Amino acid sequence: MLLLNGPNLNLLGERDPEQYGSTSLADIEAAVTALGKELGVTVVCAQSNHEGELVEHIHAARDLDGIVINPGAFAHYSIALRDAVDAVDTPCVEVHISNVYAREPFRHTSVTAPVMQGYIAGCGVAGYELGLRAVLRRIEEARGSA
């Protein structure tokens, strides 16, 4: 399982705490990794501020069970991330800490969401754990129909 975070998310806990809270990315990664262990999956964590590096991580995840991704601002305009997710045959769930629909209008559209198997926004950092559970549910559903 890949937990992938996009630009500026390395600053969680410091950047705009009213919007994103005080939890650091390291804290989120530790919580999701612990939940993964509890649920019997290994979680690999990565973060980049560079679009191409995120694409490379997605490509490398072809051999993993799934992806939980917070693409950050790239969700709103990165066709490259959209195409990378569309190209891998693994369940992907998009997560946003804030309620993007309660923010600026440019955040209301995600070009990546249409190729995801789930979308979680506005649940704070708990959205990451929900995302992990959603990916595992999608895997379970796919195996049940096979």
d(CA 25, CA 21) in angstroms, rounded, equals: 11
The catalytic residues are 20, 96
d(CA 2, CA 141) in angstroms, rounded, equals: 19
d(CA 143, CA 99) in angstroms, rounded, equals: 32
What pLDDT does 98 receive? 86
For residue 76, say whether it is annotated as part of any ligand binding site: yes
- Mean pLDDT of residues grouped by 10 in the chain (146 residues)? 96 79 92 98 98 98 93 95 96 92 76 96 96 96 76
> Order of strands across the sheet with 44-47?
44-47, 2-5, 67-70, 92-96, 118-121
For residue 107, say whether it is annotated as part of any ligand binding site: yes
For residue 98, say whether it is annotated as part of any ligand binding site: yes
